[in-house]
């Protein structure tokens, strides 16, 4: 049964960057034990800032020394036996701290939850701040669970579920201010289990993160063109829900993946690998960011330029179907 969704952009605007701090504060108030490490971009006015103020004994500021922070987070997890939530500015988490993620955290299989903020395109930040190569890196690291929440409420679900989850994890969230996909936050949720968002028989769109909403908008546009599209929320990139991909391959003759990441090595590559291994004979297309250093501009302009806006997703999907 598909989950209940919303098309109301303005009324449902929220921030996953605030959500993770909010739920961590709730967990601390509930008496749950964990450690929090963070970079100096956590402002006192944020919910994470409120956690730091109320529970300073469990919070550690590492400034702008991201590799040190990630390595120390592994040490804290080993020394205390507690889950460690480590908030790091996304582009510097994946690129500057790759060695520490690989060797200190993944190799030791410690319960560190790396919260990478500002994923995808960062307006005006340029190639140093765009976080589009991270999924390819994370997927190649053993023992690492990769989570990409669709909205703020789903981010909270990941944080809560991670308290009792064994092993290292990356939680990849966007810049903030993205619309909630799900109108009813009570939907069934499990790490590693994809969600059927809409039903459809012509094509399956598999997406993750904040781009699940834009894929939902594309489904609506496709419906206006007479195209029936299934939409799957593949919120966990690793372990990948292979059954959901296999089911999609059986139900529709075309599959499209949509992500705010490089088309090389991310969600699209993971789905393509499964389809190739199982002998899928239908049509397939990856929609994402190209293998290049991106143009600069406002987010909407960048999305339009690369054809990954709702209209662009719908146009590319219809083109795949020859319509």
Out of 148, 179, 210, pick the residue that ends a domain.
Answer: 179
pLDDT at 2 over 80: no
Q: Do residues 166 and 200 share a domain?
A: no
Instruction: Record the tokens describing residue 55, joined without a space.
Output: 């529970």
Q: Do residues 209 and 149 share a domain?
A: no
Asked if the structure places residue 186 within a domain, the reply is no
CA 15 to chain centre: 13
CATH number at residue 88: 3.40.50.970
pLDDT at 47 over 90: no
Rg (CA), the chain: 19
Q: What angle do CA 294, 298, 299 make, to 5 degrees?
A: 75
Grade residue 42 by pLDDT with cuts at 50, 70 and 90.
confident
Out of 153, 179, 205, pick the residue that ends a domain.
Answer: 179
Q: In what order do the strands lie in the sheet with 35-38?
A: 59-61, 35-38, 84-89, 112-117, 169-172, 145-147, 236-238
Tell me which of 8-17, 130-139, 288-297, 302-311 is least confident: 8-17
Q: Do residues 113 and 223 share a domain?
A: no
DSSP 58: G
Q: Do residues 29 and 97 share a domain?
A: yes
Q: Do residues 36 and 106 share a domain?
A: yes
What pLDDT score was predicted for residue 16? 59
DSSP 292: S
What pLDDT score was predicted for residue 138? 97
| pLDDT tens digits, one per residue of 57-108 | 999 999 989 999 999 999 999 999 999 999 998 889 999 999 999 999 999 9
The contacts of residue 26 (CB under 8 Å, 6+ apart) are none
Residues that are catalytic = 66
Mean pLDDT of the chain: 92
Percent of the chain with pLDDT over 70: 93
What pLDDT score was predicted for residue 11? 43
Range of the domain at 227: 195-318
Asked if the structure places residue 184 within a domain, the reply is no
Nearest partner of 59 among 84, 80, 89, judged by Cα? 84
**Domain count across the chain:** 2
Q: Do residues 141 and 217 share a domain?
A: no
185 vs 219: which has the higher pLDDT: 219
Burial class (CB in 10 A: 0-12, 13-18, 19+), 96: middle
pLDDT at 278 over 90: yes
Q: Do residues 172 and 201 share a domain?
A: no
CA 146 to chain centre: 8
Asked if the structure places residue 120 within a domain, the reply is yes
CATH number at residue 287: 3.40.50.920
Q: What angle do CA 156, 231, 236 make, to 5 degrees?
A: 40
Q: What are the distances in angstroms from CA 51 to CA 30, 59, 61, 166?
A: 13, 8, 12, 24
Q: pTM to 2 decimals? A: 0.93
- Count, residues in the chain: 323
| pLDDT tens digits, one per residue of 164-188 | 999 999 999 987 667 888 888 889 9
**Range among 6-15, 111-120, 243-252 rated most confident:** 243-252
């Amino acid at each position: 049964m598909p989950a209940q969704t919303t098309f109301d952009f303005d009324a449902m605007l929220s921030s996953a960057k605030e959500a993770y701090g909010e739920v961590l504060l709730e967990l601390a108030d509930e008496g749950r034990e964990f450690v929090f490490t963070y970079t100096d971009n956590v402002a006192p006015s944020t919910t994470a800032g409120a956690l730091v103020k109320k529970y300073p004994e469990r919070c550690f500021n590492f400034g702008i020394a991201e590799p040190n922070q990630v390595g120390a987070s592994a040490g804290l997890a080993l020394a205390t036996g507690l889950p460690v939530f480590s908030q790091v500015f996304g582009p510097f988490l994946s690129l500057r701290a790759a060695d520490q993620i690989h060797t200190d955290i993944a190799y030791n299989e410690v319960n560190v939850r790396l919260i990478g903020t500002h994923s995808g395109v960062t307006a005006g930040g340029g190639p140093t701040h765009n976080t589009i190569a991270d999924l390819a890196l994370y997927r190649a690291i053993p023992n690492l669970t990769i989570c990409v929440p669709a909205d703020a409420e789903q981010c909270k679900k990941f944080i809560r579920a991670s308290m009792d989850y064994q092993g290292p994890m990356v939680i990849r969230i966007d810049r903030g201010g993205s619309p909630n996909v799900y109108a009813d936050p009570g939907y069934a949720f499990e790490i590693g289990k994809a969600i059927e968002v809409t039903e459809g028989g012509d094509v399956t769109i598999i997406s993750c993160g904040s781009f699940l909403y834009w894929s939902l908008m594309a489904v609506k546009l496709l419906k206006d063109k007479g195209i029936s599209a299934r939409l799957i929320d593949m919120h966990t990139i690793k372990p990948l829900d292979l059954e959901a991909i296999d089911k999609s391959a059986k139900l529709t003759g075309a599959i499209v993946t949509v992500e705010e990441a490089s088309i090389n090595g991310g969600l699209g590559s993971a789905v393509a690998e499964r389809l190739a291994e199982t002998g899928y004979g239908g049509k397939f297309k990856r929609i994402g960011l190209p293998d290049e250093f991106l143009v600069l501009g406002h987010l909407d302009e960048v999305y339009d330029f690369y054809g990954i806006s709702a209209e662009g997703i719908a146009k590319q999907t219809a083109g795949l179907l020859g319509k």
